[in-house]
């Protein structure tokens, strides 16, 4: 996986920061987006983030893309 790859959430995953369902549990399984960052360092120092893949998802009616920190096991690359 690399920045720019299109991905799909393959596992049942409940998030509380979805723009249309703010502060409510929302299952994002099946959502498709793009990897916007892979966190490996912070200010030049290596880090060991648990959820190091940041994916951006376009949500209709939202001001900006919805971003989520995900684990490699929760997403799959799509063509």
CATH number at residue 56: 2.30.30.50
Banded model confidence at residue 6, pLDDT cuts 50, 70, 90: very high
30-41 burial, b for 16+ CB within 10 Å, e for fewer? ebebebeeeeee
Q: What percent of the chain is predicted at pLDDT more than 90? A: 35
Query: Domain residues for 12?
Result: 6-77
Q: 49 lies in a domain?
A: yes
Encode pLDDT of 31-69 as tens digits: 899 999 998 888 889 888 888 999 999 888 778 888 899
Q: 15 lies in a domain?
A: yes
The torsion angles phi and psi of 26, rounded to 5 degrees, stand at -140, 130
Q: What is the per-residue pLDDT for 15?
A: 86
All residues at 6 or more sequence positions from 38 whose CB lies less than 8 Å from its CB, including other chains: 1, 2, 3, 52, 53, 54
Number of domains in the chain: 1
Q: What's the predicted TM-score (pTM) here? A: 0.81
């Amino acid at each position: 996986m690399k920045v720019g790859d299109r991905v799909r959430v393959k596992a049942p995953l409940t998030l509380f920061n979805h723009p249309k369902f703010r502060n409510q549990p929302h299952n994002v399984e099946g959502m498709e987006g793009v990897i916007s960052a892979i966190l490996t360092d912070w200010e030049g120092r290596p880090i060991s983030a648990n959820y190091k893949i940041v994916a951006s998802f376009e949500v209709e009616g939202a001001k900006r893309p919805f971003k989520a920190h995900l684990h490699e096991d929760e997403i799959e690359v799509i063509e």
